[in-house]
A and B are shown apart, each in its own frame.
Chain A
Amino acid sequence: MKRPEIREYEDKCTQNYAPACITSCPMHVDVKTMIRYIEKDDFTGAVNCFQKNIPFPRIVSRICDHPCQLVCKREEIGGSILISKLERACIEFGELKKKKIKPIKKTNKKIAIVGGGLSGLTAALFLYEKGYQVTVFEKEGKLGGRIRSRVKDGLLSEELMDADFKLLDDTDIQLRCNCQITDIEEQLGEIFDGIYDSRSKDLLIESGYGEDSIIQKICDGRSSAISLDRQIKGVSLTEGRENEVAYKTELYVNIGQIEPRATTVTPRLLDGLTEAEAIKEAERCIQCECMECVKQCKFLETEGSYPKKYVREIANNVNIMMGIRKSKNMVNSCTLCGLCGEICPNGLNMADVCMSGKVGLAEKNHMPEAIHDFPVNDMLFANSNYFKLLRHQVGMEESKYIFFPGCQLGALAPTHVLKAYQFLTENLRGGVGLYLGCCGAPAAWSGRVDLFNQTSEEVKDNWEKAGKPIVITACATCTKMFSEQIEGIQIESLWEIYDSCGAEIQGPIANTHPVITVHDACTARHDPNVHKAVRSLLKKKGYRIEEMKYSRDMTKCCSFGGLVSFTNTSLAKEMTDTRAMESDKDFVVYCAMCKERFTKEAKSSRHILDLIYDEPYKSGERDHKYIISYSKRHENRIMLKRKLLKEIWGEEMEREKEPYEDINIKLTDEIERIMDDRLILVSDIKKVIYHAEDTGSKIWNPNNNHYTAKFQPGVITYWVEYSIEGDVYTIYKAYSHRLEINKKIEENAHRKYRL
């Protein structure tokens, strides 16, 4: 990932931007944290927070004009938080720390401050801390300037002011009261290296709350002091000062879901709040933040932070030479569904970031192939002669259309493919060819660009060979992959064809509930025609649709996307469960893998083809038809190809049998379940046994007469414990590992691990 690309992604996430109450305060008091402390009944923590940016906290807490309250997000939902009153409560109930200001590094430079009001004194303290020798000239006999007049309002007292100005007593700032400066140049010019006249605006950054704003006065003092310091040092007066004074925040805060809540405090002009009132008022604070995408995505939530941080971590992990790459797990836990991009007000799509991370890691050989070995091999199987098939419609020399059902529908519901193909050939004119295979999504999702390009090229070649027909897909992922990879390809979904051909569809199937909900496939997010066709079909069928909040372009992923169900099984389960709970109605899906995921996690769901072809089921019941082992899915694909070839084209399926296929094994259901959890296929087991029996390389346990053997056909080593009775091999254990074990020790083996 390149630096500008990272920056572009990062800049879209506003989560770490300060809320409006902080940015509208010229001194940027951390109001959010301060209120959090009050809410926890920690007034000392709160006052420390307040005091950090405010040199005269007692005074400010009483007479600040609180611009923060005008922009408080609570305003629209119950009224602004009484921030000013809370600041006063901090002072009254918290323990104010005695501040001592020490110069960082003393210099001989002398500074004159004209005016001992809040602005001048703030400037004096700032410059003193910077090491200057500071003298303040005040025309009156006391410090404070115009705020002295506020005592008569009853909000401020001489004692409070004096207590705040005590801070100056512990410094070496020279205070010259009763000293009026009428001609700065003449009176001070030759003695001082720098002069700040608090009556003038020469050194100010305009931020504009006007003459009467107390907080602005303090800000003016600080910002003028910064300018003076820079002027003396000869550095830029403007560089890096963009957000020094009050500014408008870009933080996005959605208040749509927040209940209105008015203050329970009766306003009393002169009095402060009680402790209990302050806590109650603090509880109303919504603690402004964005987190919009995180709230809706289990992956983003589980990582414990927010996208801006993830972007940096992923980029760092791709770009570092050495060290730990923890984001590997992160990029492999994103379903690439893109919902975050739809939610984000600036369109930050973590799918793009994670995909870029995956590709970057794979390119640098930091993405172990073993992580995605199973789904990638499944793709290779679907594109091998076991399944791959390309034919024009029987009796035709050309195809106006070609049906590409995808690799998973054929594996999970092969009869649906047969029926759908029959429907297409009966209803469409001009020839409907058939193309069985995989679009290459597993290669793309594992970051293996070369393999994905190779697969896409092959699909493109076959499509061209078929005469560039209109492709009819039954899988939204295939649609997405093809439209992104193959220029000029025209694609229609099977659902649109069913809908437009007026399939003979009648009322709901017996025992089903007439009200259902549609779980849209995340890869069809931007395909409104598909959303429309699916709903139209269901309505024709007599179902009433109760939409979920997150549907159509805002749909969520079932957890298959990005291969998360292989790389982070516990998170995938959580994602599926969370989605399943978003409606108590039966889900209708139109993607085979959505069906598989929901069935696996016990959510009552139906594939739209189940409803079109009236497959009976009971509402709320798990659909056992779709609980199929990975091995059985391979068998289903082979069976489908054989059946299609035989029944439609009158051909026998020709393929050379692998020698291990004839091994006769016996498995219990429990072993088969364990094998599926461990992503071990029956064919893997047969390969192990064949290899062991062929070479004699196996371990014998004399106690039970079991053999244990291993075989490594690719990056995974498979182990099987079995016994032999005649020509039947009974399986007791099947397990695997990614480490490669070699018999002999290399002399220069450089690291030692004790297992």
Chain B
Amino acid sequence: MKLEFENKEGLMCSKCRLLLEPGKAHITYLKSTFPVELLTCPKCGEVYVPEDLALGKMQEVEKNLEDK
């Protein structure tokens, strides 16, 4: 799945009042850690995971890691 990095909806970090931007976060699961690109708050780093990403690509990655 290709992640749309543009913040088309104008999502904002409620705390910092800033538009979310494509940014880096990291994901940890079952002793594996790797960086990902997600919409994040440029100031506090708050991340946003949309429903289709959580139930799509993220589940696939979970399954792959769980099989190891």
Contact = CB atoms under 8 A, between A and B. Distances in A.
Interface string B6-43: 00011111110000100011111110111111101000
Given A739-B62, A746-B26, A749-B35, A326 B67 contact: yes
A677 B9 CA distance: 28
Contact of B61 (A328, A699, A733, A753): A753
A326 B67 CA distance: 6
Contacts of A708: 11, 48
A700 B14 contact: yes
A577 to B, nearest CB: 25
Interface residues of A, number: 44
B12 A702 contact: yes
B66 A699 contact: no
Interface string A682-704: 00000000000001111111110
A744 B10 contact: no
B26 A744 contact: yes
Interface in B30-68: 30, 32-38, 40, 44-49, 51, 53-55, 57-59, 61-62, 65-68
A743 B15 contact: no
Q: SS class of chain A's interface: helix, strand, loop or mixed?
A: loop
Contacts of B59: 737
A321 to B, nearest CB: 11
B40 A323 contact: no
A738 interface: yes
A703 B10 contact: yes
Contact of B34 (A326, A697, A701, A753): A753
Contacts of B48: 699, 708
A605 to B, nearest CB: 32
A619 B41 CA distance: 58
A752 B10 contact: no
A751 B34 CA distance: 5
A699 B46 contact: yes
Interface string A728-739: 000001011111
A371 B29 CA distance: 13
B55 A735 contact: yes
Nearest to B1: A755
Interface in A341-365: none
A525 B35 CA distance: 50
A735 B12 contact: no
A716 to B, nearest CB: 11
B33 A750 contact: yes
Contact of A745 (B26, B44, B68): B26
B26 A737 contact: no
Interface in A716-742: 719, 721, 733, 735-742
Nearest to A323: B68
A209 to B, nearest CB: 52
Contacts of B11: 699-701, 708
Given A698-B14, A701-B9, A755 B28 contact: no
Contacts of B35: 745, 749, 752-753
Contact of A743 (B9, B25, B57): B25
B45 A368 contact: no
A333 to B, nearest CB: 14
A318 to B, nearest CB: 14
Contact of A742 (B28, B37, B49): B28
Given A737-B59, A741-B47, A755-B3, A719 B54 contact: yes
B15 A735 contact: no
B37 to A, nearest CB: 7
A709 to B, nearest CB: 8
Contacts of A735: 51, 54-55
A324 interface: yes
B43 to A, nearest CB: 11
B51 A754 contact: no
Contact of A751 (B32, B38, B51): B32
Contacts of B9: 701, 703
A707 B12 CA distance: 10
Contact of B40 (A329, A743, A751, A752): A743
A673 to B, nearest CB: 15
B15 A749 contact: no
Contacts of A366: 68
Nearest to B60: A755
Given A700-B14, A736-B54, A755 B33 contact: no
Nearest to B46: A697
Nearest to B36: A755
Contact of B67 (A325, A702, A719, A753): A325
Given A700-B13, A735-B55, 19 more contacts: A695-B15, A697-B14, A697-B46, A699-B11, A699-B12, A699-B14, A699-B48, A740-B28, A742-B27, A743-B47, A745-B24, A745-B25, A746-B33, A749-B26, A751-B33, A753-B35, A754-B37, A755-B3, A755-B57
17 contacts: A328-B66, A329-B67, A368-B66, A700-B13, A703-B10, A738-B29, A739-B27, A739-B61, A740-B28, A741-B36, A741-B38, A743-B40, A744-B25, A750-B34, A753-B35, A753-B36, A753-B61
